[in-house]
Structure 1
Amino acid sequence: MMKDPVRCAIVGCGAVADEYVRTLEGSALVDVVACVDVDMERARAFAARHRVPHALGLDETLEEGYAELLIVLTPPGTHIAVAQAAVRSGTSVYVEKPLALTGDDAAGLLTLADRHQVLVGGAPDTYLAPPAASALTAIAQGRIGKPTAASAALLTAGPERWHPEPEGFYEPDLGPLADMGPYYLSQLVHLLGSIAQVDAATGTTVARRTIRSGNRAGQVFRTKAFTHVEAVLRSAAGVTIALTVSSDVQASTRPHLEIYGSEGTLVLPDPNFHQGTVRIRCRDQSGWTDLPTGAERSGHPVGRGMGVLELAAALRTAEPHRTTGCQALHVCRILDAIREAAVTGASVQVTLDRPSVSTRRAAP
């Protein structure tokens, strides 16, 4: 039986926080009791907009024990510091992607969480949604035979088209690879298993970018990150995956994600979102068939924040959660390997970390 709702606090009251709250409001499992932002006016406005009882500073939120679960939606470079502060206070955390800018930092967070016996979860959670569930079922049922290869592509002209302050997306060790790559890598790992080896090439083909929206439209800035990445990944099961992540492409008809098997092919929708159609075409078929996308098995509302709800359930019941810190750590290790392979020109083995206590259920 469920106990009281899990008390949550959101850190970082930007646009994605609104999306999280819309999902969380649809579940009786959690109660958002506080919000935190470096800009207190923004925090107060967020609290008023979503009827959150308290707009507070981070130290006050943790010291006073307002929350059992901290949802970290701050810029990527601050994820580890905020999450570490929460863990040291005995608070479980769910962190937006990427969990950290390096695999070692992510691993250190999980070690710290083990020591304090709290749970860590990490975005993205889009692989919990119905499209990924349908694809996983089709693979498990052998409908495309043995998976042999896959292709994944994020091809855009960059966030400066729509974001009024896009420089943060191009900080060192970020760029499109670490900003958007986790959606694709998490989906691939969920469907095909862990990644063992990486080869890669990267470039910064458009170093000077122009802001296209907001009060600073027309201003030019210089990127500090790779803006185009080509990688070849090999899974532990021997599946070869071609991955392209770019902020330098003006238009493309390449599918976001395809999985090829000995008996057929699956085409999945953009893994940045929780909805979409999965198509299948098998040997000797003359056309494509849409797979049914039923309700997600957990019964949670579908949208950004699904992973928070699974983590909250793990804090109250014996239900496991799938957006584990260990999976988010593996994605960070893959990102590390891609960058190393690009710089060295050599194949790089991906570090495979052992599952930690922080990936399992806390005592109810």
Structure 2
Amino acid sequence: MPQRLGIIGLGVISAVYLETLAASDAVVITAVADLDPDRARSVASGLPAARALTVAELLASDDVDTVLNLTTPAAHAEIALGAINQGKQVYGEKPLAVTLAEGRGILAAATRAGVRVGSAPDTVLGTGIQTARAAIDDGLIGRPVAASAVMVTAGHELWHPNPDFYYREGGGPLFDMGPYYITALIHLLGPIRSVTGASCRPQDHRVIHTGPRAGESIPVFVDTHVTGVLEHEDGALSTITMSFDSAATLASPLEVHGTDGTLAVGDPNTFDGPTSLRRATDGGFQALDPLAGYVDGVRGIGLLDQIRAPHRTMARANGELALHVLDVMESLLRAASEGRRIDTTTTAERPAPVPLTPRAQWLGRTLWPIPS
């Protein structure tokens, strides 16, 4: 039987999830909830099996097996725990929670209840990052030595009508965009044992540019430029820069350097960014054909992967990985604040690689790709 899915939070990001999940026969959306009841009713009207409920009604509903948590970061822990306490599986948008303590609480509750917890990003399961991983695992760059991850952009107040949460606890460029890059680095190079870093907050206020609140000034409570060095357990070193304080960058979003070559990897916030390889004897970078990953991936494949995985620890966008990413981010901000190296207190296994899987197959109900 397909999993019966309830969705909480019907903001901007929900549209792509709805499109993906409505097309899959692995799930049926039975309930939706939002702080705006009219929005919930509107979404439910376009789904043949869905009812518009309150959050409390959805969490307690007997016809919901899994809760998809698309609320703002500050509410992630509350909703996840509410679902777990009702014996339901949970999959949420990133980050897992806004503090490591909250994240630990979610996983502890899930263990006691015997339910699965998963978290975005699932972009790393697409052909972009998975092709880069296959190249590394196949020895195309020799021994991995280092990586760099760079995201520099103007603030989200330029396009989002209600950007306040991006500048509160659980927001900022590191917590908003960092999960894509850090999760990708863990897939490529393994877990991270220590971090050092620095951060700053050049602007105390931001001005909303679009929507009914255009012209309104909002306060900034978090650092908006963060840079750091991540030491992986196998000795590789990654540098990371996450910023909401400039217009753009020409730097590659992600590069991985090995003793025999370098990979230029596409944007970890996309599923199928191009991956190119250059070795010491090459005249330039050569694009790699897709070697692995969910073809034409879109948001929601992490949830489908979780539902179909034979065991909770086999799900690729699992809670343990999300907790480790949260640990890395919190440790990096603490290292920046205290001016010292911080050891992480969690770890995570590199998830199983994703074999090259056509869209028609990953949308299906029973397939769970396992490396050959």
Which moved further from structure 2: 122-131 or 164-173?
164-173
How big is each residue's C-alpha offset from its partner over 1:246-269, in whole Å with a ceiling of 9 and x where there is no partner?
Answer: 000112111111001111111111
8 A contact 1:266–1:278 mirrored in 2: yes
Shift of residue 220 of structure 1?
Answer: 1.7
Which residue of structure 1 aligns with residue 19 of structure 2?
22
Q: How many residue pairs are counted as aligned between the two chains?
A: 349
Shift of residue 353 of structure 1?
Answer: 4.8
Which residue of structure 2 aligns with residue 307 of structure 1?
302
How big is each residue's C-alpha offset from its partner over 1:228-255, in whole Å with a ceiling of 9 and x where there is no partner?
Answer: 0011111011111110000001121111
Shift of residue 58 of structure 1?
Answer: 2.0
Shift of residue 32 of structure 1?
Answer: 1.1
Which residue of structure 2 aligns with residue 174 of structure 1?
171
Secondary structure at the aligned position of 2:40 is classed as helix
Which residue of structure 1 aligns with residue 368 of structure 2?
none
Distance (whole Å) between structure 2 residues aligned to residue 252 and residue 73 of structure 1:
29
Shift of residue 50 of structure 1?
Answer: 4.1
1:196 equivalenced with 2:190 (yes/no):
no
Please tell me the residue identity of whatever aligns with 1:326. Answer: E
When residues 279 and 354 of structure 1 are mapped into structure 2, their CA distance, relative to the original with a 3 A threshold, is closer
Spell out the pairing of 1:109-188 with structure 2 (5 A cutoff).
109-188=106-185
When residues 52 and 229 of structure 1 are mapped into structure 2, their CA distance, relative to the original with a 3 A threshold, is farther
Which residue of structure 2 aligns with residue 358 of structure 1?
none
When residues 295 and 265 of structure 1 are mapped into structure 2, their CA distance, relative to the original with a 3 A threshold, is closer
Which residue of structure 2 aligns with residue 349 of structure 1?
343
Shift of residue 66 of structure 1?
Answer: 1.9
Percent identity over the alignment is 37
When residues 57 and 318 of structure 1 are mapped into structure 2, their CA distance, relative to the original with a 3 A threshold, is closer
Q: In the alignment, which of 87, 106, 124 is matched to residue 84 of structure 2?
A: 87
Please tell me the residue identity of whatever aligns with 2:240. Answer: L
Shift of residue 57 of structure 1?
Answer: 1.2
1:10 equivalenced with 2:7 (yes/no):
yes
Distance (whole Å) between structure 2 residues aligned to residue 322 and residue 172 of structure 1:
27
8 A contact 2:28–2:49 mirrored in 1: no
When residues 21 and 224 of structure 1 are mapped into structure 2, their CA distance, relative to the original with a 3 A threshold, is same
Spell out the pairing of 1:21-60 with structure 2 (5 A cutoff).
21-60=18-57
Which residue of structure 1 aligns with residue 249 of structure 2?
252
Secondary structure at the aligned position of 2:13 is classed as helix
Distance (whole Å) between structure 1 residues aligned to residue 217 and residue 312 of structure 2:
52
Please tell me the residue identity of whatever aligns with 1:95. Answer: G
Give the gaps of 5 or more residues in structure 2: 350-372
How big is each residue's C-alpha offset from its partner over 1:143-196, in whole Å with a ceiling of 9 and x where there is no partner?
Answer: 011110110011001101100111111003421110111011111111110011
Please tell me the residue identity of whatever aligns with 1:215. Answer: P
Q: In the alignment, which of 322, 344, 349 is matched to residue 328 of structure 1?
A: 322
8 A contact 1:35–1:52 mirrored in 2: no
Q: Normalising to structure 2: TM-score of the pair?
A: 0.90
Give the gaps of 5 or more residues in structure 1: 356-364
1:67 equivalenced with 2:85 (yes/no):
no
Shift of residue 21 of structure 1?
Answer: 1.3
Please tell me the residue identity of whatever aligns with 2:187. Answer: H
Which moved further from structure 2: 134-143 or 301-310?
301-310
8 A contact 2:134–2:291 mirrored in 1: no
1:229 equivalenced with 2:226 (yes/no):
yes
When residues 236 and 295 of structure 1 are mapped into structure 2, their CA distance, relative to the original with a 3 A threshold, is closer
How big is each residue's C-alpha offset from its partner over 1:36-78, in whole Å with a ceiling of 9 and x where there is no partner?
Answer: 1111111111112344521111221232312111000000000
Please tell me the residue identity of whatever aligns with 2:343. Answer: Q
How big is each residue's C-alpha offset from its partner over 1:69-122, in whole Å with a ceiling of 9 and x where there is no partner?
Answer: 100000000000000010010000001100011112111111110111000001
8 A contact 2:124–2:268 mirrored in 1: yes
Distance (whole Å) between structure 1 residues aligned to residue 348 and residue 230 of structure 2:
20
C-alpha root-mean-square deviation of aligned residues, in Å?
A: 1.7
1:339 equivalenced with 2:370 (yes/no):
no
Which aligned segments of 4 or more residues in structure 1 are displaced greater than 4 angstroms?
A: none
